[in-house]
Structure 1
Amino acid sequence: MKTNYNITSKDTLGDTVARLPRAGEVFKSYKIDFCCGGQRSIEEAAKEKDVDAGKLLGVLNSLQDTIDARQGKNFTQMNNEELIDHIIDTHHSYLNINLPEISIISAAVLRAHGASRKELFEVHKLFHALKAELEQHLIKEETVLFPNMLDENNDLDIQKEIEDEHEGAGEILRRLRELTQDYTVPADGCPTYERLYHKLEELEGDVFQHVHLENNILFKRF
């Protein structure tokens, strides 16, 4: 049975993606941040990006026709333990595997193309700042934040700290996207260059979903 969520311009980005996960793909296509900026309304976000809110709503509501077939997991119906397990098994595992790999690729591309592509030095620097932040962030979540939540003894200070770290990671990702011109590989880019930009864009998508699940679903329960 299909469910009509009647998405309106006053709905927040985070709530919209929580109810209709495929909306995240739409927001990403318009470069709208639905994770760290999830408390904004669709109307506000559209105005910030100079997007026609009516057109955006039309695209979002058109997803309702296929919601049952393609929505996938309903994260809002998971209990806290199930959602935390999903975050660790899916997003923490992804980062633990891919951050070291991207580091190696980034160094190789910098050595090969840094002389002619000066922006690669900043890309390398920004990525490694993000890598260091995310690695300690995962440990903090797994050893402090999540156990507190499961023990129903949530420390609001640590939750605010985690949310601030989400903002910091989001800002680095925004700078990386701008610096790389939306991950556009230059004409002289080699296959390894292409792989670096592909992996960085993939990383962005995973972090956005990771932060969305925490900021817009899990954290709202406490």
Structure 2
Amino acid sequence: MESTVTRESKVRDIVIQIPRSDELFKNYKIDFCCGGNRPLHEAIAEKQLDETSILSALYSLEEEAKEMKAKDQQDWMSESYPALMEHIVRRHHGYLVEELPDLSFYVTKIFRVHGSSHPELEKLHRLFHQLKMELEQHMVKEEQMVFPAIRNYATSQSDADYNYALQRLNELEAEHEEAGSLLKEIRETTSDFTLPPGACTTYKMTFKRLEELESDMFQHVHLENNVLFPRLQNETA
């Protein structure tokens, strides 16, 4: 497996490049912020850890990220409703379930540490947590109400299932618009995720992951607004 990570890679660079590597380092108590400007092997040796195991775990995280990116390129226009919804739940809902709490920690951390000199972080903190709450509620609604109705309709062709799902689409699309507005405000508040001079590793990683969240949400909403929902609405055409 080709990898961008070697034992000489800087810890801070790994955290920025490889999604969820921060969790790995936190578990091993490896400092990737103030102490991140050093080769990985030095940080591992300081903690008397097994270098091979940690490198292997990093390779796995990197490969998972590549696989997720490849799946995003798949043509979902001709897939069945169940297959498309399973992809949305596994790929995009799964990402949000893991990412939102972790990102919440870092958005709060940079606000607490740097908020006095960067007052815009207070607004970022508020916007992000509003987005987090709305997305969590939105996913529950999709997984527990709307997607089961669409899945049942795909099997039974029941008018009741079809009409119920159809009635909820406008509500879901309105929630997508609200999430899009919050993402737009986050981008404006951070000046297009522009880092201040001398930003620490945690600051850099947080902004990078916020931008990745935006990108994932665009793909997520595209699959629902432009693929899943129109196909369902055109069933009777």
Residue of structure 2 equivalent to 1:102: 103
Q: What amino acid maps onto 1:207 in structure 2? A: M
Q: CA deviation at 1:140?
A: 0.4
Q: What amino acid maps onto 2:129 in structure 1? A: H
TM-score when normalising by structure 1: 0.67
TM-score when normalising by structure 2: 0.63
Residue of structure 1 equivalent to 2:211: 201
Q: Distance in 2 between matches of 1:126 and 1:194?
A: 18
Q: Distance in 2 between matches of 1:113 and 1:71?
A: 35
Residue of structure 2 equivalent to 1:13: none
> Which of 166, 174, 185 is the matching residue for 1:175?
185
Residue of structure 2 equivalent to 1:80: 81
Residue of structure 2 equivalent to 1:146: 147
Residue of structure 1 equivalent to 2:12: none
- Relative contact order (C-alpha < 8 Å, sep 6+): which is higher? 1
The gaps in structure 2 that reach 5 residues or longer are 1-70, 154-160, 233-237
Q: CA deviation at 1:190?
A: 1.0
> Which of 217, 224, 229 is the matching residue for 1:219?
229
Measured against aligned partners, the alpha-carbon deviations of 1:142-184 in whole angstroms (never above 9, x if no partner) come to 0001011112213223111111000000000001111111101
Q: Distance in 2 between matches of 1:158 and 1:74?
A: 25
**1:165 and 2:175 correspond:** yes
Note the aligned Cα RMSD (angstroms). 1.6
Q: Distance in 1 between matches of 2:104 and 2:202?
A: 12
Q: Percent identity?
A: 44
**1:134 and 2:138 correspond:** no
Q: Distance in 1 between matches of 2:72 and 2:209?
A: 24
Residue of structure 1 equivalent to 2:200: 190
The gaps in structure 1 that reach 5 residues or longer are 1-69
Q: CA deviation at 1:72?
A: 3.5
Q: Distance in 1 between matches of 2:196 and 2:167?
A: 44
Q: Distance in 2 between matches of 1:76 and 1:150?
A: 16
Map 1:28-43 → 2, pairs under 5 A: none
Q: Distance in 2 between matches of 1:168 and 1:188?
A: 33
Q: What amino acid maps onto 1:206 in structure 2? A: D
Q: Distance in 2 between matches of 1:178 and 1:101?
A: 22
Measured against aligned partners, the alpha-carbon deviations of 1:30-80 in whole angstroms (never above 9, x if no partner) come to xxxxxxxxxxxxxxxxxxxxxxxxxxxxxxxxxxxxxxxx99411111110
Measured against aligned partners, the alpha-carbon deviations of 1:82-138 in whole angstroms (never above 9, x if no partner) come to 000000010000000000000000111011100010000000000000000000100
Aligned length: 154
Q: Distance in 2 between matches of 1:78 and 1:167?
A: 25
Larger Cα Rg: Structure 1 or Structure 2? 2
Q: What amino acid maps onto 2:201 in structure 1? A: P
